[in-house]
Chains A and B, each alone.
Chain A
Amino acid sequence: MLTSAPPGPAATRPPQKTAARSDSTLGLLAKIVLLGLVDAFAVYVLITLFLQEKWVILLVGAAVTVLINWIYLRRGGLPAKYLAPGIFFLVVFQVFVMIYSGYVAFTNYGDGHNSTKADAVNAIQLSAQQRVPDSPAYRVSVLEADGDFHLLATDPDGGVSVGTTGVPLEEADDAVTDGTGKGVELEGYRTLQFGEVLANQADILAITVPFSDDPEDGSLKTSDGSNAYVYRPSLSYDETTSTFTDLETGTTYADTGEGSFRSAEGEQLSTGWKINVGFDNFVKAFTDPNIRGPLVQVVLWTFTFAIVSVLSTFALGLFLANAFNLPDLRGKRIYRILMILPYAFPAFLAGLVWSGLLNPEFGFVNNTFFGGADIPWLTDPLLAKVSVLVVNLWLGFPYMFLVCTGALQSLPEEVTEAARMDGATAWRTFTAIKLPLLLVSVAPLLIASFAFNFNNFNVIYMLTDGGPRFDGTTANIGHTDILITMVYEIAFGTGVGRDYGLASALSIIIFIIVAVISAISFRQTKALEDIN
């Protein structure tokens, strides 16, 4: 793999040393081998791209390959040699995907809109198949190779050919035929027995073998695994006008510029294609009643969840740090270890475990603590929010406890001494002296904690899965969903069709919020001063 950096020679020095000769030979060898592997992989990818005619990516890939070779083969430019491997992954899988999110946010990418117009036309022609009336029957055998099913079809004239979905019929003259002239076996394939045909009925009925690359020529489909009939598209495509015409009803579906074919009555063919829709997704997010209502609530809850989580974990952590900030307290270490356990417990499991504890029907909390009461911990909108916050408190307070303990112990002793001398009460000392000093060092961590909880996917998804669901929306979004779980639901959920465009638009909104938070935190932490 291309994860390690080939070391470059120390090219910046005049060649006067001979002591390191053997090592630099080894280094040179390692460099050549690693660079060779990277280049071999790159060439393999480039050839594949060339064969698939993806010119843009091919150019970019070639440029990157040349750049990598230039970095490692030239003399000097040492920092680049060390930075390149990490930067490569960073650029592809962090920077590029963010930019790509931005691009997708302005398209209608999603279910039914995930490819080019040509592909959509093809798919419509393949899906809208109807049997040609009075067409002759082809006798077929079902074959299997590499887990795919193929049809071995014998046409009425006795010619035998083979094909499967997406692979047009090819003549198979060397097929073994039975007494009636029906092809039954073929080299390289396994013929399915009757029982297997029954067992795989759904897959076999779905096989659509085209006669040629042009869908208009029709295709073979079988309904019983032994006979197949000719099917032709019931929708005919006219390239000059870019319209589909239904051969039965005569309805015309035209490209209206919205990424799909529509009839004059507004009826739409199911398969569309990807187009740029400008700000439509953002407009949709803020105007579509299906999304708008939930979105406002989700944004509010996301902020509430993040802020309350930070404050509650910090308050409890600080309180505990104070309580145990006594050198001679017996059992302090035991308490400490036991209290840190939730932090060590994997977060995704914590959410699932608590969902069991809080299960209204069978859960431990209701049945053991409340004697079988039926308290809707996770199914009532308000209680579910409280539950989420309590679980997040459980997950988060140990971290704050550790941090605050460290910060408290690093406070200078003299200041508190001086405060006591001046007769300040303990509470006054704490609020006026300790807390401000503590906040100086802990503030960046609080901001980081806020940013983390803002996108705390695991605890929400595992504990409530966003539920209880909102009324009056078809999307599977609920009262405890935060923005990131809403994005996941819209992009990969089962509620409505996947809508990558809308999900990306929401991601962009999160990006903006996070960027503002980071800007504020930079101002606060003065992290910039460390860089010189």
Chain B
Amino acid sequence: MTTFTDPQAVAPAETRAGGSGRVPEQRKRTFGQWFRHKGWRHVVGVVTTLFAVFPLLYVLSAALNSNGTMAGSNVLFSRFDTGNFEALFSNPSRPFGRWFMNTMIIGVVTSAATVFLGALAAYAFSRMRFKGRRVSLLSLLILQMFPQLLAVVAIFLLLNAITDVVPWLGLGSQLGLIMVYLGGALGVNTYLMYGFFNTVPKSLDEAARIDGASHVQVFFTIILPLVTPILAVVGLLAFIGLSSEFVIASVVLTDPDSQTLAVGLYSYVAQQRSENWGVFAAGAVLAAVPVMALFLFLQKYITTGLVSGSVKG
């Protein structure tokens, strides 16, 4: 499918200019040599970057172009104005501001609760030995293979039944949606946290216990501060995942006032995609900025979190 490398990439020893321990005195190289060694990498870099970035530039340009239709957005950055953003916030039947707040609230509450529940469970698995521990860990590992959206029909029917008993926890309620999301709290994250908790030496707990701390105090004052990085990673990944969650949210949240960005913005373009394009693009920009900022800001942690779970050789 693809050719991977050139000889220089993998075996740069013979031709390496300014290798370690040498005076960086560049030998004059022909253009051909430079291209074979480095130039093609720049070509690849530029082409890939264009592929990666042009859809994002397109959204930004469409958002700033109050022509508003899809056909009118085809010349990049032909106009600059904020008409689309004004339209976005002045549509009472599609309250973008509310969607934004809802997404934030649901995302923050759920990811905080997810981190807390996961940490409690990871503490138990990491620090205690009890009957059924292995089986529980295994079950969690297996359960995380089954994403919740597979059971979306049953979730809908369950919430429908809950509506009859406790209306404010059933269909249409954000609290109900948060509870559904918490069903997935343990499966995905406990394992990641458990591995990290194990890196904290047990002698710390023991010292604290000898000094008279209870297991609760050990958990809150000793373990949690030491595992903050993994808590941040899990919380972030949960938040980013939730901000894109559409299936369950679309089934549970029916009233436009309670919807999240994913459901709301989809409703903007579900029927009249090209007419509402500009306003949708403005909404997309605003919805994407916080998530992308978070991501780039913390990408180092996120990648370690992604990799540490599985790349253990």
Interface of A with B (CB < 8 Å)? 1, 3-5, 7-10, 17, 19-20, 23-24, 27, 44-45, 48-49, 52, 54, 57, 78-79, 82-83, 85-87, 89-90, 92-98, 100-101, 104, 109, 311, 315-316, 318-320, 322-326, 328-329, 331, 335, 337-350, 352-357, 359, 361-364, 367-368, 394, 398-399, 402-403, 406-407, 410, 416, 420, 425-427, 429-430, 434, 440-442, 444-445, 448, 451-452, 455, 457-458, 461-462, 484, 487-488, 491-492, 500, 503-504, 507, 510-511, 514-515, 517-518, 521, 525, 527-528, 530-532
Q: In the assembly, what is the distance between CA of A329 and CA of B128, in Å? A: 49
A-B contact pairs, 6 of them (CB 8 A): A27-B216, A345-B288, A349-B244, A357-B55, A364-B73, A403-B307
Nearest-CB distance from A393 to chain B (Å)? 9
Please, which residue of chain A has its CB at the minimum distance from the CB of B210?
A17
Query: A3-B113, A100-B157, A448-B310 given as contacts; is B150 within 8 A of A484 (CB)?
Result: yes
4 interchain residue pairs of minimum CB distance:
A93-B183, A19-B212, A344-B295, A82-B124
Q: In the assembly, what is the distance between CA of A484 and CA of B246, in Å? A: 13
Whether, in the assembled complex, B313 has its beta carbon less than 8 Å from a beta carbon of chain A, the answer is yes
Q: Report the interface size for chain B: residues with CB under 8 A from the other chain.
A: 119
Cross-chain contact B184 with A362 (CB below 8 angstroms): no
Please, which residue of chain B has its CB at the minimum distance from the CB of A485?
B247
Contacts of A345 in B (CB 8 A): 56, 288, 291-292
Report which of A49, A94, A100, A406 forms a contact with B146, defined as CB distance below 8 A. A94
Please, which residue of chain A has its CB at the minimum distance from the CB of B243?
A346
Please, which residue of chain B has its CB at the minimum distance from the CB of A354?
B55
Nearest-CB distance from B130 to chain A (Å)? 4
Cross-chain contact A341 with B56 (CB below 8 angstroms): yes
Contacts of B38 in A (CB 8 A): 326, 329
**Stretch binding the partner chain, chosen from B91-99, B131-139, B227-235:** B131-139
Please, which residue of chain B has its CB at the minimum distance from the CB of A501?
B153
Nearest-CB distance from B104 to chain A (Å)? 14
Whether, in the assembled complex, B273 has its beta carbon less than 8 Å from a beta carbon of chain A, the answer is yes
Cross-chain contact B266 with A90 (CB below 8 angstroms): no
Nearest-CB distance from A222 to chain B (Å)? 29
Query: A90-B187, A354-B55, A458-B244 given as contacts; is B217 within 8 A of A101 (CB)?
Result: no
Whether, in the assembled complex, B74 has its beta carbon less than 8 Å from a beta carbon of chain A, the answer is yes
Contacts of B224 in A (CB 8 A): none
Please, which residue of chain A has its CB at the minimum distance from the CB of B270?
A465
Contacts of A335 in B (CB 8 A): 45, 48-49
Cross-chain contact A353 with B246 (CB below 8 angstroms): no
Please, which residue of chain B has its CB at the minimum distance from the CB of A410?
B311
Nearest-CB distance from A379 to chain B (Å)? 13
Cross-chain contact A455 with B147 (CB below 8 angstroms): yes
Please, which residue of chain A has its CB at the minimum distance from the CB of B190?
A86
Whether, in the assembled complex, B284 has its beta carbon less than 8 Å from a beta carbon of chain A, the answer is yes
Cross-chain contact B149 with A362 (CB below 8 angstroms): no
Contacts of B307 in A (CB 8 A): 402-403, 406-407
Query: A79-B124, A359-B273 given as contacts; is B58 within 8 A of A100 (CB)?
Result: no
Contacts of B7 in A (CB 8 A): 425-426
Cross-chain contact A78 with B1 (CB below 8 angstroms): no
Contacts of B153 in A (CB 8 A): 101, 104, 487, 491, 500, 503-504, 507
Cross-chain contact A104 with B154 (CB below 8 angstroms): yes
CB 8 Å contact bits of B57-79 with A (1 = contact, 0 = none): 01100100000011101110000
Cross-chain contact A3 with B182 (CB below 8 angstroms): yes
Please, which residue of chain B has its CB at the minimum distance from the CB of A46?
B165
Contacts of A329 in B (CB 8 A): 38, 41-42
Whether, in the assembled complex, B214 has its beta carbon less than 8 Å from a beta carbon of chain A, the answer is yes
Cross-chain contact B303 with A52 (CB below 8 angstroms): no
Whether, in the assembled complex, B23 has its beta carbon less than 8 Å from a beta carbon of chain A, the answer is no
Contacts of B149 in A (CB 8 A): 455, 457, 484
Whether, in the assembled complex, B213 has its beta carbon less than 8 Å from a beta carbon of chain A, the answer is yes
Nearest-CB distance from B221 to chain A (Å)? 10
Query: A101-B154, A416-B10 given as contacts; is B274 within 8 A of A402 (CB)?
Result: no
Cross-chain contact A19 with B274 (CB below 8 angstroms): no
Please, which residue of chain A has its CB at the minimum distance from the CB of B114?
A86
Cross-chain contact A359 with B274 (CB below 8 angstroms): yes
Nearest-CB distance from B109 to chain A (Å)? 9
Contacts of B9 in A (CB 8 A): 322-323, 325-326, 426
Whether, in the assembled complex, B141 has its beta carbon less than 8 Å from a beta carbon of chain A, the answer is yes
Please, which residue of chain B has its CB at the minimum distance from the CB of A27?
B216
Query: A326-B41, A406-B307 given as contacts; is B187 within 8 A of A337 (CB)?
Result: no
Contacts of B74 in A (CB 8 A): 362-364, 367-368
Cross-chain contact A356 with B70 (CB below 8 angstroms): yes
- Beyond contacts A52-B165, A316-B2: 6 other A-B pairs, Cβ-Cβ < 8 A, are A326-B9, A345-B56, A356-B58, A362-B69, A457-B149, A521-B145
Contacts of A340 in B (CB 8 A): 296, 299
Nearest-CB distance from B233 to chain A (Å)? 14
Q: In the assembly, what is the distance between CA of A487 and CA of B40, in Å? A: 46
Q: In the assembly, what is the distance between CA of A455 and CA of B150, in Å? A: 8
Whether, in the assembled complex, B269 has its beta carbon less than 8 Å from a beta carbon of chain A, the answer is yes
